[in-house]
Every structure is written in structure tokens, then in C-alpha cells.
Amino acid sequence: MAALKFAILTCSDTRTVAEDTAGAALAELIAEQGWSVVAHEVVPDDRTVIAALIARFADELDADVVLTCGGTGFSTRDVTPEATVDACDRLAPGIAEHIRAESMKITRRAMLSRGTAALRGTTLVVNLPGSEKAARESFGFVADQFEHAISMVHGGGH
């Protein structure tokens, strides 16, 4: 399998690219795996904008995986899970369930995450927390399954 292509989308009303430590950390972790980052953007917590960028990353940039950071909490501005569902065709609930289960071993506040995972065509979209520490941890909980997941959406066996 060719090296995976990732897009990183940080969803925040308060951060700029320069302040996006979670997205930068994810880019480092992706590179350490020998994978590439084809896009990294920071956008406001706007459901329509987030969904449109997920679609663009999948359809135009042909990203294998889109990682979102932030916007998964209980604030009325936290709309990343809804935007993800808007942009995708099928849910992949086991991924977010695993992230929450592992995160609960670190902090009980992980139960307050509304993050989801879904597929848009052959692109896997995974919502991660907005803090650098939690984004790193969450990536680590699921990174070993990305290649197999993408192989499966392209017709590979289980």
C-alpha cells in the first residue's frame, strides 16, 4: 500500500495556524509513520465550512484520512461531529468508541466528547480533541488501524 495521505482540519473560533499546536503535533506524528499531510487548515466552528472542507479534502485532494481537531465538546459552537455526519455517507462508530474508551482511562471527562468517525467515499474522517495532549493520545489509540481501514474501503479483505 502506498503511503497514506492525511488532511488536518482544526476547528476553532480562537486559534490561528500559528497557535494550532494540536494540528502541528498531528502533522509530526503522521510524518513519523512515513505518511504525508496534503492539507492543514484552521477554520472557525462553522458547520457548513467544516463540512465543505471535509468534502474538498476527500473529493479534490484525495486524502485517505481527514483528522479534525476540536469542536467536539458541549458548547453550542462545537459542531464538528454534526459537520462530519453532514459530509459523510457512512458512520464508523467503533473508532470514536475506542478513542473514548482509552481516553476514559486517563480522564473521566473523556465521556464528554461527542467526537465521531465516518467515511466519505474512500476517505476516513476522525474527530479528535482540540488539546495537543488529547489529540496526540487519541491519534496513538487508533493510528495502527488506519492502513487496514483504508485498504478495506478500497476492496481489501478483513
pLDDT in tens, the chain (158 residues): 679 999 999 999 887 777 889 999 999 999 999 999 999 999 999 999 999 999 999 999 999 999 999 999 999 999 999 999 999 999 999 999 999 999 999 999 999 999 999 999 999 999 999 999 999 999 999 999 999 999 999 998 77
CA 126 to chain centroid:
3
Closest to 77 measured CA to CA, from 48, 50, 53, 47: 47
pTM (predicted TM-score): 0.96
AA identity, residue 37: V
Fold of 26-144: Molybdenum Cofactor Biosythetic Enzyme; Chain A (3.40.980)
β-pair partners for 118: 91, 125
Cell of 51: 463540512
Rounded-to-integer distance, Cα 66 and Cα 51, Å: 11
Instruction: Decide: helix, strand or coil at residue 126.
Output: strand
Look at residue 1 in the predicted model and tell me its pLDDT. 64
Rounded-to-integer distance, Cα 108 and Cα 101, Å: 10
Name the pairing type of β-strands 65-69 and 90-91: unpaired
